[in-house]
């Protein structure tokens, strides 16, 4: 049995007096224990909403979540609020994008760690303090015992993200969700944080859902990758498969638009045309069709289904053929 089984997850944004908007739809994927799964896509593709829906952190007002999220067999969406609170932080941890705004500005770092330990591991304040020092040390924060009494604004951006990771991992959850954990950081710090995540995940056997728009992050970290577009999974593949032979024109476009050092001189960067605002609704075809170089008439009429393809999954009427895959393909 997989650690996490997401089936047909759908989130509608419902606002009074406005038409509801489907943010994500038909999201199904599994996460095995210890596995690292990537959710990749442009901003607005629904990857963050997916993660918040799994954690049940979407506001109840204005969001309608359906489908199922089975964690070790239990459907998280069916749990009571209290039962879910028992699991969050203990079984599932989460790291967020902006480490400054994600930490409480008026509470010392130490308390923000110890409160999880007290809550889920029943530790005394004192024992939790010792454990917190240990945790800060483990995530690579120097002089951890002094840092406990400091406030978030006194730490650097990288240190804050390390502290957030320490909080998320404090109770050794079996699943960690990292939502763009490096986006708000400097490039050099990004690499450090990624290395830290990889190391921790390997050491503790924690499964990881990595949410990112950055294919570089995926390449370095993920076993399996889900590419999201317009709120749906458009392609799923093992890492090497995805980078070697991208099948969906969108994935192909993402890879082709990355500058590469080993590209030939004459080769041009090929950006994806248009923007997310050009999307057409999935009901009337493929949301990506208006921007797709491979689009056929059928793409604007029939909504493509997610079907098995080369060991992965693909949602496309006219996929990129391996032989044609030039730019990003030849590895």
Partner 1 sequence: MLRFLVRRLLQAIPTLFILSILVFAWLRSLPGGPAAALLGDKATPEKIANLNHVLGLDQPIFVQYFGFLGRALTGDFGNSLVSTQPVMGEIVTFLPATIELGMTAMIIAIVIGIPAGYLSARYRGGPVDNVVIVLSLIGVAVPVFFLGYMMQDILAAPLGLPSQGRQAAGLDATAITNFAILDGIMTSEWDAVWDAIKHLILPACALATIPLAVITRITRASVLDVLNEDFIRTANSKGLTQQVVRTRHVLRNGLLPVVTTIGLQTGALLGGAVLTERVFNFRGLGFLLAEGIERRDYPRLQALLLFGAVVYVLVNMLVDISYGIIDPRVRVR
Binding site for partner 1 (CB under 8 A): 55, 57, 81, 84-90, 93-94, 96, 98, 101-107, 115-116, 119-120, 151, 153-154, 164, 167-168
Minimum separation from the CB atom of position 119 to partner 1 (A): 6
Minimum separation from the CB atom of position 14 to partner 1 (A): 14
The residue (of 99 and 304) whose beta carbon lies closer to partner 1 is 99
Find out whether 287 and 279 touch, Cβ atoms under 8 Å: yes
The residue (of 210 and 292) whose beta carbon lies closer to partner 1 is 210
Q: Rounded CA gap, 5 and 149, in Å?
A: 39
Q: 41 — phi, psi (to 5°)?
A: 170, 170
Sheet with 74-75, side-by-side order of all strands: 21-31, 4-13, 63-71, 74-75
User: Which residue, among 120, 115, 119, has the nearest Cα to 132 in the 3D structure?
Assistant: 115
Minimum separation from the CB atom of position 104 to partner 1 (A): 4
Minimum separation from the CB atom of position 101 to partner 1 (A): 4
CA distances from 93 to 24, 48, 113 (A): 22, 15, 13
The residue (of 156 and 310) whose beta carbon lies closer to partner 1 is 156
The residue (of 13 and 239) whose beta carbon lies closer to partner 1 is 13
Minimum separation from the CB atom of position 151 to partner 1 (A): 4
CA 181 to chain centre: 9
The residue (of 6 and 255) whose beta carbon lies closer to partner 1 is 6
Minimum separation from the CB atom of position 61 to partner 1 (A): 8
Sheet with 312-314, side-by-side order of all strands: 92-95, 175-179, 207-212, 36-40, 224-229, 232-238, 312-314, 307-309
User: Which residue, among 269, 272, 241, 274, has the nearest Cα to 327 in the 3D structure?
Assistant: 269
Please count the other Cβ atoms lying within 10 Å of the Cβ belonging to residue 66. 12
> Is residue 38 exposed (0-12), middle (13-18) or buried (19+ Cβ within 10 Å)?
buried
Find out whether 179 and 93 touch, Cβ atoms under 8 Å: no
Pairing of strands 232-238, 307-309: unpaired
Minimum separation from the CB atom of position 252 to partner 1 (A): 34
The residue (of 120 and 317) whose beta carbon lies closer to partner 1 is 120
Minimum separation from the CB atom of position 56 to partner 1 (A): 9
The residue (of 201 and 233) whose beta carbon lies closer to partner 1 is 201
The residue (of 168 and 289) whose beta carbon lies closer to partner 1 is 168
């Amino acid at each position: 049995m997989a650690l996490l089984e997401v089936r047909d997850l759908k989130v509608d944004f419902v606002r009074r007096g406005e038409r509801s908007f489907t943010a994500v739809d038909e999201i199904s994927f599994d996460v095995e224990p210890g596995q690292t799964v990537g959710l990749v896509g442009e901003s607005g593709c629904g990857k963050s909403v997916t993660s918040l829906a799994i954690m049940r952190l979407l506001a109840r007002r204005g969001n309608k979540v359906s489908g199922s999220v089975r964690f070790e067999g239990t459907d998280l969406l069916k749990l009571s609020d209290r039962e879910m609170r028992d699991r969050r932080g203990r079984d599932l941890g989460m790291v967020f994008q902006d480490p400054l705004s994600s930490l409480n500005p008026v509470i010392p770092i130490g308390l923000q760690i110890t409160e999880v330990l007290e809550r889920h591991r029943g530790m005394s304040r004192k024992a939790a303090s010792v454990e917190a020092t240990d945790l800060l040390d483990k995530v690579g924060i120097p002089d951890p015992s002094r840092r406990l009494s400091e406030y978030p604004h006194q730490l650097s951006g990288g240190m804050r993200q390390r502290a957030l990771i320490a909080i998320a991992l404090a109770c050794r959850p079996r699943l960690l969700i990292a939502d763009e954990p490096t986006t708000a950081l400097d490039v050099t710090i990004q690499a450090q944080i990624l290395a830290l995540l990889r190391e921790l995940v390997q050491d503790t056997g924690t499964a990881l859902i990595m949410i990112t728009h950055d294919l570089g992050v995926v390449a370095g970290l993920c076993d399996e990758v889900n590419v999201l577009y317009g709120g749906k999974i458009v392609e799923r593949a093992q890492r090497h498969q995805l980078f070697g032979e991208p099948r969906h024109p969108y994935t192909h476009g993402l890879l082709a638009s990355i500058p590469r050092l080993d590209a030939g001189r004459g080769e041009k960067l090929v950006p994806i045309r248009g923007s997310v605002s050009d999307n057409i609704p999935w009901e009337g075809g493929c949301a990506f069709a208006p921007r797709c170089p491979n689009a056929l008439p059928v793409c604007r009429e029939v909504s493509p289904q997610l079907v098995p393809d080369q060991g992965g999954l693909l949602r496309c009427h006219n996929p990129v053929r391996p032989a044609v895959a030039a730019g990003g393909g030849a590895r």
